Amino acid sequence: MQHTRIYLIGFMGAGKTTVGRSLSNKLGWVFIDLDEEIERREGRPIAKIFQDHGEPHFRKIEQRCLEDVSGLERAVIALGGGTFINPQNRALAMKTGLTVWLKVSFAKVWHRVKIDGTRPKFGDKDQVERLYQTREPYYALAKVHVSTDTSTPEWVANEIMGVIEKS
């Protein structure tokens, strides 16, 4: 197995955190949810960072945090929904690990994710669908694609394990 870092990429509700925890347990690797790591470092929720300082400020924090965790060995890293959109972040992830897009349909996203104010860019349905459509072409640049619509997190983790073992 040549990969020592796996980046999980996808839209809100794709299952990045749940699959990431399962995959890291199977591999015996550390799991990092980039959004959780940002909140831990900043001492406040992402929604509050957006509210107080705006998205550009948040994206700078996100990029620094990604740079830090990209040096970890034997790590499964769940990226935030917008992380992979940034060309520098995308290049770093592609250079330092295996990028895996957890594909999810918009219908599933809408069903899985609550509008509760914790996700800054998750407002009304039209806004979320436009964001989804804007981000999908970037996610498609990931090396591996795995659908999460009808699969359990365990199944998805096993699919990724199969890819890793073949490479």
Residue 135: helix, strand or coil by DSSP? helix
Q: What is the DSSP letter of 149?
A: S
Q: How many domains does the chain have?
A: 1
Confidence band for 159, pLDDT divided at 50, 70 and 90: very high
Beta bridge partners of 138: none
Give the Cα separation of 131 and 32 in Å (integer): 24
132 or 167: which leads in pLDDT? 132
Residues 6+ apart with CB under 8 A from 146: 100, 101, 102, 103, 156, 159, 160
pLDDT in tens, 38-72: 999 999 998 888 889 988 999 999 999 999 999 99
Confidence band for 106, pLDDT divided at 50, 70 and 90: confident
CATH number of the domain that 71 lies in? Answer: 3.40.50.300
Q: What is the pLDDT of residue 47?
A: 84
The angle formed by the CA atoms of residues 167, 138 and 46, to the nearest 5 degrees, is 105
Residue 164: helix, strand or coil by DSSP? helix
Beta bridge partners of 102: 146
Q: Which domain holds residue 54?
A: 5-166
pLDDT surpassing 80 at residue 125: no
pLDDT surpassing 90 at residue 86: yes
